[in-house]
Structure 1
């Protein structure tokens, strides 16, 4: 009786299905899917760029507590732009929270023929930014945070100058946002 059971089990070979081998019914591997890789992440039309990431420390009675501060710029490359700053216990949490905040703080930028309608200057803290319109084909003549913000806002031709000596990315980014808020369609 025991021999018969062994015979039945060895006579039947397991059939290998295409799903078990990682291949589809044609025998080929399925195409890769590109995206953020995070489940539940929705493509809402906004591109994001990390402007700055810093490890910051809070000194408490029990010692030092480390956290991360992320500055993220989000824009749709049409006319909406936002900046978000937030902290988290780890890098990914800080970036995720800052991205969420950037998408909540959106402003509309006036863009005429790929550039701004007029020259504008703005100040935020010690940072002073000058933005000038440029003719088509000139390109983005800007550096640092100003370039990132103008690119994600969809401004194709602009000239900018950081008039202050401020090297602080956050202050320069906020001064740029203030300048873009001042724009009016003529």
Structure 2
């Protein structure tokens, strides 16, 4: 019989070094691992109240909204128009509106663009450029009868104390946004074009507007 080899268990003789756990505060952090300090730069311009050249502070939101809503507008017509080009037809939108502050200032504008919002914006700018200032009486009426013609539209406007505003079509929108009351307006033509009727009313109001 062969003798079995002896297995020497040397695990018991192995010396395990002791591990000492240090608190986090005592551990030294290398200089390379520290976070770089954030640099603060001086503000450009400075405060306007302190004599700097900074941007002036904006006013309260309520005041800005009041400036925006100085004029009221009413859309009197919007339609899609087409232009025949070499490559085919190009479609745009045409918008007509009346703009006024109901205090004697009123204007009519027309705008065309590929988008309805842009067309309305162009019409608003056109109405502001052609705005009239009406001479109103103490009762917010006009002083005399006026009549005018624009293309095929003929409009007559006459004062009528105590009756209020009597008008129709786009002529009523022009008179309302101008702040005119106690008048009677009448269309003397058969034109159904709201833009021409509004412009005929504007031509009539030129006779009682400030030069």
TM-score (norm 1): 0.74
Contact 1:117 1:184 in 2 (8 A): no
Residue of 150, 163, 167 corresponding to 2:175? 150
Q: Aligned pair 1:126/2:160, yes or no?
A: no
Deviation, 1:44, is 5.1
What residue ranges of structure 2 are gaps of 5+ in the alignment?
1-60
Show the counterpart of 2:113: 88
What residue ranges of structure 1 are gaps of 5+ in the alignment?
1-33
How big is the alpha-carbon RMSD for the aligned residues of Structure 1 and Structure 2?
Answer: 2.3
What is the aligned residue count?
148
Q: Aligned pair 1:63/2:85, yes or no?
A: no
TM-score (norm 2): 0.66
**Which structure has the greater CA radius of gyration?**
2
Show the counterpart of 2:199: 174
Flag the 1:132–1:41 CA change in 2: closer, same or farther, 3 A.
Answer: closer
| Between 104-113 and 145-154, the greater mean CA deviation after superposition | 104-113
More strand by percentage? 1
Cα offsets for 1:43-89 (capped at 9, x unmatched): 15111111110100001111110000011111010000011101010
Contact 1:50 1:71 in 2 (8 A): yes
Show the counterpart of 1:116: 142
Show the counterpart of 1:162: 187
**In structure 1, distance between residues paired with 2:66 and 2:80:** 26
